[in-house]
Structure 1
Amino acid sequence: MHGQREARLDRQKSMYPQPSQGPSFLLRCISPVFFNFPLQYLGELENIWVDRTVNYKPWRMFITNLQKDWENSITPATVLLTANVGLLAIQSIDTGHADRSMAQIASYISTFLSLGNIILCTVLARQHRLDAHMTAESAATYLDRRTRMRGGLEIVAVSFSLPSALFLWGMGAFYVAIAWVCLAGTSFWTRLLSGSIFFITTLFVCFIVVFDLWSAQSTLPTTPRLLERILSSRTIMREAFGSCFRSLRTRRSGRTILCVGRRNKRRGTDVEMIC
């Protein structure tokens, strides 16, 4: 109700006090391998599944976008698979020896990743059809079952990000295969021109990928926060050791004054003690 402490002011926030828990350490470690797609999907799922209730309209939009991504990913993966098969069919590359070249190995890896992408997109699109999530009750049942599993929504986020990650890694492997064909055993001008374009393109791609990974780490504690925690813990330890040292000095000085007072009492002199 309005005015009460339990009133929900935002659909993405819980009306109960929740401890601030970020992604697990394992997800933080493997997320860069998946180009940080799991962290992105996990954030969207946590905004949808709040207090064990489903925000149905954002959930339907989320599933619709996933369906479009999976359907649109099948066509490029098929093209990439065809390109790898065509590359491996070139006689100058497939020499028939048991020892395969770097271009062939990279093309094999790209082929398997493309096949994995096609299979996962087909399976996931079949499992998450729109008619299977037509009601909020079915969506709540699905998310409730997933949260009760070990790993919870993090496993769901990783499974949703697998097709895109496999496709990008497949593209990277095919990129390496083409670069090896252009640079290995070719003429000077071929190496110079192809190598310069290869270097510039690789630099741009690495810059964008690293920048995206760095910007997506906003959910993790930053370096100044970590330094703040370390410095605060050092300050607390320093104060604790200082208080212990001061208490020891006070006890020792009290014992010394007591001993001097006893000696002067034996001599019959008056001692004035200042505390």
Structure 2
Amino acid sequence: MTIPRGWTTVVHPEGTRYFVNRETRTFTEMDIRKRDICDRIEYYMEYLLDQLQRNLEQRNLTLDMRQVDLVVEPKVYDGDSVVCCYYFANHRDRCLFWLDDFNPEYVTSLCKGIKSVSHIRLAIEAQYWRHWDYFPSLCPVTQNIVDELKDMLIHATCDHLTSSQSSSAFDATELKDHLSVVDGIKVHPTPPADQSMQRGHAAIVIGRIMCIFINNHFMNYHGEDCVRLASEQTVHGWKYQRSPLMVILAPLLFFDPMTHIQELHKIFVDDIISMTRWNLFCSKLNGQLQDSNLLATVLLNANVGFLAINSVDVSGRSPTQVASYMSLVASMGSMILGLLLVSHNRAMGQGANFRTATFMSRLHDREHGLEKLAIGYSLPKALLIWGMVFFFAAFSVNWWSPGDTSSRAIVSTVMLVVFVMMAYSIILIRKSDHW
């Protein structure tokens, strides 16, 4: 099939194919080699460009058409009706625009409380840089843009190095990698026409990174009165309120849910997840779960060995055996839950932004936040501690019953000293934690 006159086929570096009319700077992903599709696209192309020119003349506006791209995609509905989807990309002002009324809800739905046009403009600019990623052929890669992107990466790197609550979209390692990629971009003053059409790799790199940066500015309300300057800062003034369930379970779970919920609410702020903090949290949690599983295995073996002692293995069910059985069940529960949580965190994978955000949003409560998730993450450790408590109870009953006064006094004194030191340490640790 032949390409219509005036059009050029371009293969995106990722493999997709699209068509470009260099004279009118029009792009489409539809197969214009089919006559009916080509006629339809050229009709809407001429109509939209003519309407744009008329609007400029009527409103006495100036716009260099050599810096404006048009993306057209007519769609057929109900067999005969045609709806033309389109947008204009203005390279001078770094924005997209339309000739018809456009509802920006599609690009602003992830951010709540939008009240100013300048804030909406950031969302539109992020979509403009996405245009560079999709149709890079005629995007103007200049040294000024490359230098601007380098400055943004350098500033974000410095922000991470000098602040523990950076609101940057990347972590320090990612910023270093991105900066090395951008350093490899070479800008040719006057590249050949055919080369600029075929090689859009640099434009794609710039577009993707800039899109993430500008979208991060949009989500953090840059330039607005309520700008988020730290990743832990809430813009909407949300405060965590503990539920009766948390009040009851927190002491039973040795207040470990309170530690987890503080970390989770620093990760998921205003329905926005910080993937950097989430990845660090998952890595730390997986390490803790693996340690708990190891200790639970040791405790399980200790209970099995303890139950095999002749003085413990008696007919009937003594308090010593019951306590040891409870310790055995608690350690098994800790192991099973730990394995399941480690498997779940690994299945989520690092960098799966959409999946992780959906998972957190589904569990987030309007008043109580991520309490359910915090309780679930606390169960393996709490069950392990309860297993130790039950094992200690079984051990205590076993040595107390046949013991004499001197042995009871010595062991009781040592137990008292150990409990005092443990209580003092726990109080010091919990002083830094808040409800």
Instruction: Give the alignment's TM-score, normalised by structure 1.
Output: 0.71
**Structure 2: distance between partners of 1:71 and 1:48:** 22
Contact 1:182–1:190, Cα closer than 8 Å, also in 2: no
**Residues 1-275 of structure 1: pairs in structure 2 closer than 5 A:** 2-16=222-236, 18-96=237-315, 98=316, 100-129=317-346, 132-147=349-364, 153-209=370-426, 212-213=429-430, 215=431, 218-219=434-435
Contact 2:241–2:367, Cα closer than 8 Å, also in 1: no
1:188 CA drift (Å): 3.2
Distance change >3 Å, CA 7–CA 151, structure 1 → 2? closer
Higher relative contact order (CA 8 A, sep 6+): 1
1:2 CA drift (Å): 4.9
Instruction: Give the alignment's TM-score, normalised by structure 2.
Output: 0.46
1:207 CA drift (Å): 3.7
Distance change >3 Å, CA 211–CA 176, structure 1 → 2? farther
Which 10-residue stretch deviates more, 71-80 or 138-147? 138-147
1:15 CA drift (Å): 2.1
1:184 CA drift (Å): 1.2
In structure 1, stretches of 5+ residues that fail to align are: 220-275
1:3 CA drift (Å): 4.5
Task: Name the SS of the counterpart of 1:4 in structure 2.
Answer: coil
More helix by share: 1
1:217 CA drift (Å): 6.0
**Structure 1: distance between partners of 2:254 and 2:425:** 11
- The aligned amino acid for 1:158 is I
Distance change >3 Å, CA 146–CA 73, structure 1 → 2? same
Contact 1:42–1:154, Cα closer than 8 Å, also in 2: yes
**Structure 2: distance between partners of 1:64 and 1:85:** 32
Which 10-residue stretch deviates more, 133-142 or 83-92? 133-142
C-alpha RMSD over aligned residues? 2.3
Deviating 4+ runs (over 3 angstroms): 148-152, 206-213
1:68 CA drift (Å): 0.7
Task: Name the SS of the counterpart of 1:128 in structure 2.
Answer: helix
**Structure 2: distance between partners of 1:8 and 1:150:** 21
More strand by share: 2
1:47 CA drift (Å): 1.0
1:40 CA drift (Å): 1.1
Contact 1:113–1:169, Cα closer than 8 Å, also in 2: yes
In structure 2, stretches of 5+ residues that fail to align are: 1-220
**Structure 2: distance between partners of 1:54 and 1:218:** 22
**Structure 1: distance between partners of 2:333 and 2:366:** 25
**Structure 2: distance between partners of 1:32 and 1:203:** 18
**Structure 1: distance between partners of 2:334 and 2:282:** 18
Contact 1:182–1:194, Cα closer than 8 Å, also in 2: no
